[in-house]
């Protein structure tokens, strides 16, 4: 245990990092006093505090995370789990980054959980957010069992009340979309859902909202279900089917990016998208579906959603919110702009 010297440099030449004990020895103070000076707990005289801080700065002292964590039983990290199937969608990226931002602003790191967590483990986080989890996924349960506070972004079907939840008003937004299209003249609205292999609360909600709206609008249910990770071929097949249904003059696609991908397919069928035919996305962020003004979309505000989810988690950690709190994250409907070209064609 060589004394840290070599004055000016913060870099230690003997391999070990600078510790509180190193500072204490040099300043002829106790560990306690140095720790207090560093922590800023009022017990220490201003002069001592300044001496300690000066040397700490000079020697490049950084508090050892593991030691602190062992003592305080907190890790300084928050976890995020995104289900494997949808990982690559921009929506989740935005969400994750919003979350990372919020976590960082509170001094926490963000740990991305891997798809298949080891059997039993120390998660190494003070709390976790999970998003769009299927009821079958075991991770939320494991987290709760390990005593980790959990926020589910999108409730987990059949597990309500087991943890906190933050949700977008999915049924309401879907309803608004259908109403918008009808107000713009749509008579028969078809709907494509990822319920096929993505039966999470959001997908169930919007699908049920469609069926409910059909009942209320006295319209036949024209729903197709495809994989949330549908290839162009699969998507095109669904589009083909829809186009063949007589009288369909509007199509709402649930999942992110589907509308933008469907548009050229519709156009290839001679459909006048944005003109006599309306196209909508229920998860249309600015990057994908939003790039095309001919598409009406529900913007779920992915980034802000991530911020809000971690906000809730932080509130739970601070005691400001209940472990089973439920919050709503607002979404907004962005109607397609009725463009001149479309109008002209109607003339």
Q: Does residue 332 interact with its own copies by CB under 8 A?
A: no
Q: Map the footprint of its own copies across residues 87-116, applying CB under 8 A.
A: 87-88, 90, 92-94, 96-97, 100-101, 103-105, 107, 109-116
CA distance 124 to 67: 13
Residue 6 touches its own copies, criterion: CB under 8 A: no
Single out the residue of 81, 115, 114, 83 nearest to residue 96, CA to CA: 81
Among DNA, its own copies, none, partner that 60 touches (CB below 5 to 8 angstroms by kind): its own copies
Compare residues 174 and 307 and give the one whose CB is closer to its own copies.
307
275 lies in the site for its own copies, by CB under 8 A: no
Q: 280 and 296 in contact (C-beta within 8 Å)?
A: yes
State which residue, 147 or 340, has the beta carbon closest to DNA.
Answer: 147
Smaller CB separation from DNA, 11 or 68: 68
Tell me the H-state helices in the chain. 20-27, 31-39, 46-59, 65-72, 90-105, 139-145, 170-183, 201-217, 232-244, 258-268, 302-318, 340-346
Name which of 35 and 326 has its Cβ closer to DNA. Answer: 35
Structure tokens at 339: 């463009």
Distance CA 41, CA 163 (A): 35
Residues 6+ apart with CB under 8 A from 89: 255, 256, 257
Q: Tell me 161's DSSP state.
A: T
Name which of 93 and 212 has its Cβ closer to its own copies: 93
Residue 28 binding result from its own copies, DNA, none, given CB thresholds of 5 to 8 Å by partner type: DNA
Binding to its own copies, residues 197-236 (CB under 8 A): 232
The residue ranges that bind its own copies (CB under 8 A) are: 11, 17, 60, 62-67, 69-70, 75-77, 87-88, 90, 92-94, 96-97, 100-101, 103-105, 107, 109-116, 118, 120-122, 124, 145-147, 232, 257, 260-261, 264, 287, 291-292, 303
């Amino acid at each position: 245990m060589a004394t840290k010297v070599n004055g000016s440099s913060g870099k230690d030449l003997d391999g070990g990092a600078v510790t509180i004990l190193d500072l204490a020895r040099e300043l002829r103070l106790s560990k306690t006093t140095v720790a207090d000076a560093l922590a800023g707990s009022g017990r220490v005289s201003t002069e001592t505090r300044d001496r300690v801080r000066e040397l700490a700065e000079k020697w490049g002292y950084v508090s050892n995370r593991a030691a602190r964590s062992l003592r305080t039983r907190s890790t300084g990290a928050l976890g995020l789990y995104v289900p494997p199937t949808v990982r690559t969608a921009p929506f989740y990226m935005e969400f994750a980054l919003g979350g990372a931002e919020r976590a960082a602003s509170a001094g926490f790191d963000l740990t991305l959980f891997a798809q298949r967590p080891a059997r039993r483990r120390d998660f190494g986080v003070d709390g976790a957010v999970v998003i769009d989890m299927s009821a079958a996924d075991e991770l939320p349960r494991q987290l709760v069992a390990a005593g980790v506070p959990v926020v589910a972004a999108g409730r987990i079907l059949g597990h309500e009340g087991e943890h906190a939840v933050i949700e977008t008003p999915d049924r309401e937004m879907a309803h608004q979309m259908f109403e918008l299209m009808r107000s713009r003249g749509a008579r028969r609205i078809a709907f494509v859902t990822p319920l096929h292999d993505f039966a999470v609360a959001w997908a169930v909600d919007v699908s049920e909202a469609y069926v409910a709206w059909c009942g209320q609008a006295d319209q036949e249910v024209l729903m197709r279900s495809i994989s949330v990770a549908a290839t162009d071929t699969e998507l095109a097949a669904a589009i083909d089917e829809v186009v063949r249904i007589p009288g369909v003059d509007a199509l709402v696609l649930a999942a992110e990016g589907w509308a933008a991908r469907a548009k050229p397919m519709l156009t290839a069928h001679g459909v006048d998208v944005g003109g006599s035919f309306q196209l909508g996305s229920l998860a249309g962020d600015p990057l994908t579906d939003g790039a095309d003004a001919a598409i009406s979309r529900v913007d779920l505000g992915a980034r802000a959603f991530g911020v809000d989810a971690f906000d809730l988690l932080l509130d739970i950690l601070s005691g400001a919110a209940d472990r089973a709190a439920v919050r709503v994250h607002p979404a907004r409907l962005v109607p397609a702009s009725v463009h001149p070209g479309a109008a002209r064609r109607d003339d």
